């Protein structure tokens, strides 16, 4: 079951060829199983929203059985993902929300301006992140931040379409585009 919940986890990209410079770390089976139980139970509770005790009992049973069948497909990092979700909610999400609002105001300012002040270009940035999932998160974050859209990825380099180019060299562009998120994602996928 490769669902949205695997997006924290290296397991999401098992059938893609990556270079030599990416890392995948596998946790113990017990922790993977426990993580699957927790996620399934939480999902059950949310989906059967008007809460009742009977639903919760049935949900616990189904979560334990379902996890037994599918924990190997759900995650590789196991219980470590909980820490990631914590960082995601309390550190990443505020930064990300602010960036997204800024991005929308930026788009608005371009679209509503009669002169359309655009100066597009495709720049190259370098990332230090080793884990494949961290790279996906970085690419997605870049897409939703002001004026940038991730086009392609090759080894350590991402190609970014930028609507108003501020720095043309790799270093400047990396600092300008990826700087904020790279620190958070490094802590998240350590």
Partner 1 sequence: MLDAILGWLGVVLVSIGVFFLFLGALGIFRLPDLFNRLQAGTKSTTLGVVATTLGVGLLAKGWLPFSVAIAIFLLMTNPISSHSVARASYRAGVKLYPGTDPDECAERHLEIHEEGEDE
Residues near partner 1 (CB under 8 A): 4, 7, 46, 49-50, 100-101, 103-104, 106-108, 110-112, 116, 118-124, 136, 139-140, 143-144, 147-152, 154, 159, 161, 163, 165, 168
Q: Is there a contact between 159 and 152 (Cβ–Cβ < 8 Å)? A: yes
Residues 6 or more apart whose CB falls under 8 angstroms from that of 98 comprise none
- Report CA-CA distances (Å) from 14 to 3, 38, 60, 131, 139: 14, 23, 29, 12, 18
Min CB(170)–partner 1 separation in Å: 8
DSSP H/E element including 99: helix 93-112
Min CB(29)–partner 1 separation in Å: 27
Distance between start and end Cα atoms, the chain: 24
Length of the chain: 190
Give the nearer residue to partner 1 in terms of CB position, either 31 or 151.
151
> Per the structure block, which two tokens stand in for 49?
């929203």
Give the nearer residue to partner 1 in terms of CB position, either 53 or 114.
114
Give the nearer residue to partner 1 in terms of CB position, either 64 or 157.
157
Query: What gap in Å lies between CA 175 and CA 52, rounded to an integer?
Result: 50
Query: What gap in Å lies between CA 88 and CA 10, rounded to an integer?
Result: 16
Give the nearer residue to partner 1 in terms of CB position, either 20 or 154.
154
DSSP H/E element including 150: strand 148-154
Give the nearer residue to partner 1 in terms of CB position, either 53 or 112.
112
Min CB(104)–partner 1 separation in Å: 5
């Amino acid at each position: 079951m490769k669902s949205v919940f695997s997006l924290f986890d290296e397991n999401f990209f098992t059938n893609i060829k990556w270079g030599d410079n990416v890392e995948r770390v596998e946790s113990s089976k017990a922790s993977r199983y426990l993580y699957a139980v927790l996620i399934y139970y939480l999902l059950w509770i949310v989906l059967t929203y008007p809460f009742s005790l009977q639903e919760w009992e049935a949900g616990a049973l189904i979560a334990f059985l379902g996890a037994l069948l599918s924990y190997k497909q759900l995650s590789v990092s196991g219980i470590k993902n909980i820490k990631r979700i914590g960082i995601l909610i309390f550190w990443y999400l505020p930064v990300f929300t602010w960036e997204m609002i800024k991005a929308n105001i930026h788009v608005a300012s371009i679209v509503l301006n009669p002169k359309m002040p655009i100066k597009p270009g495709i720049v190259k940035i370098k990332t230090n992140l080793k884990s494949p999932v961290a790279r996906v998160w970085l690419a997605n974050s870049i897409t939703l931040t002001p004026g940038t859209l991730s086009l392609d990825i090759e080894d350590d380099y991402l190609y970014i379409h930028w609507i108003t180019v501020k720095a043309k060299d790799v270093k400047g562009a990396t600092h300008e585009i990826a700087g904020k998120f790279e620190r958070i994602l490094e802590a998240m996928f350590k």
